[in-house]
Amino acid sequence: MNASRFADGFVAVVKHDCPTCVLVAPVLRELVGHGLHTVISQDDPTFPEGFTVIDDRELDLSFALDIETVPTLLKIQNGSVIDSTVGWSRSHWENVTGAEDLGRDLPDFRPGCGSRTNEPEIAEARAIALRIPLLKSRALEFGETEDEIEALFERGFTDGLPVVPPSPRRVARMLGGTTRDPNDIVALVPPDLVECTVEKVAINAVMSGCKPDYLPVVLATVEAACTDEFNAHGLLCTTYFSGPMVIVNGPIARAIGMNSGVNALGQGNRANATIGRALQLVIRNVGGGRPGEIDRATLGNPGKYTFCFAEREHDSPWEPLHVSRSGMRQTQSAVTLFAAAGLHPIVDQLSRSPESLARSLAAGLRSIGHPKNVMVWDAVVVVSPEHARVFREASWSKQQLHDELMALLQIPGSELVRGANGIAEGLPESVAASTIPKFRDGGLVIVHAGGEAGMFSALIPGWAIGAVGSEIVTREVVL
């Protein structure tokens, strides 16, 4: 701590809003004759009376001196603090000052109060102010009369909806959501394979509307999406419908207030909405992936704005996705990326047996992409609580439901060949005698989400599988 501005002697730091500081005011007057030359007040420059108090309401001095408690008494020699004491203790104060018989009318000891520098908003504001000069991104300047929301539209930085202007203060605040260094490289973002730092993710997270405590989830999402296996490059360039979907698991989901219940796949929840959107903006702004340019999707789907939800873990009949699919612990948090092509509802209001409900789900899954497409697409089945109850009451594990669906979706080749059913699409005649599964191993994923009322589940079709397409990728969320 740099005390070079102070002459040899004693410095006291106090605040009026501290009973112990009020208590020791007379002791400070006693110490004037013993070398006390400076009193610094954190909240009231008229306290204590009888001194020319330094007004430290901005707390610059208190931060510089690392004050944690008030009152603090510092002994200065040759520009350094060589001794100190906090709160009131007669013996300690006499020790530090060499004076005797201090505060005769006072109790022997009284604890101090917290320094104002530790108040949460103040500590945060300080941390933000310190981060701002360290930001590396180029500054874009706009005139005072320019509408910055319009300017961001004009520069092509938005997805069609307005974005939150990424001021240095907002970005610095966002960076408080992670302990990672802002200059850490998170990923190479396709299609241009641009290095993306934590700071760049933070800028796009601000624009998306994220809160700082979402940032660790956004960072994990960007990492997962930019892996070779997820193949965001291919996903972006395809004429197909798909865009990235993010499923969040683990304690982080509840901690940041995500929605896994009513309307989980829809609008209204800030974390759901902005985390998915932040990824899309990173790919757009950092990676250079924009519709009409690299993005050639024939139709796309609304989920390409944002598609992100939390699995409903607390009353699920099954272990969560990151546990069953990736072997993680329930106490870990994770994001799973899936190349989603919209959503296909399954209504089943009458099935009471798991066998019957599984057949309903399979009937829907059969037509994903095209009824004659086999071993082409992946799918996610989002089982709602009312449907999950059917499986719970029959004690069907997730694996059992999965295996039943796979078995029901072994398709006879005769149904798949070109011309079958009067449909030109299909497979060559050579497969007519085979049986081919609709989904590859690992290509059918089951999760639990949704509100408690409604006998509906959702099928979320994926994109092309394997080396040609996209692999489902899970990454841990690290705070």
Residues lying near other proteins in the complex (CB under 8 A): 135, 137-146, 148, 152, 157, 165-168, 171, 189, 191-192, 194-196, 200, 203-204, 207, 228, 231, 233-234, 237-238, 281, 285-288, 290, 292-294, 296, 464, 467-469
DSSP annotation of 7: P
The burial of 291, by beta-carbon neighbours within 10 Å (0-12 exposed, 13-18 middle, 19 or more buried), is given as middle
CA 406 from chain center: how many Å?
34
DSSP annotation of 87: S
| Smallest distance from other proteins to CB 36, Å | 44
Question: CA separation (Å) from 112 to 89, 99, 180?
Answer: 10, 21, 34
Locate 295 and state its tokens: 């993005």
- Cβ nearer to other proteins, comparing 228 with 452: 228
| Smallest distance from other proteins to CB 238, Å | 7
Quick check: helix, strand or coil at residue 319? Answer: coil
- Cβ nearer to other proteins, comparing 228 with 315: 228
- Cβ nearer to other proteins, comparing 65 with 152: 152
- Rounded Cα distance between 155 and 141, Å, is 12
| Smallest distance from other proteins to CB 330, Å | 35
Do residues 21 and 14 lie in contact, with contact meaning Cβ atoms separated by under 8 Å? yes
| Smallest distance from other proteins to CB 197, Å | 9
- Cβ nearer to other proteins, comparing 199 with 311: 199
- Cβ nearer to other proteins, comparing 97 with 238: 238
β-strand pairing of 444-448 with 243-249: unpaired
Question: CA separation (Å) from 246 to 35, 92, 327?
Answer: 64, 58, 18
| Smallest distance from other proteins to CB 211, Å | 18
From the CB of residue 437, how many other CB atoms can be counted at a distance below 10 Å? 15
- Cβ nearer to other proteins, comparing 350 with 424: 424
| Smallest distance from other proteins to CB 443, Å | 17
- Cβ nearer to other proteins, comparing 133 with 327: 133
| Smallest distance from other proteins to CB 124, Å | 19
Q: What is the CA radius of gyration of the chain?
A: 31
- Rounded Cα distance between 305 and 86, Å, is 55
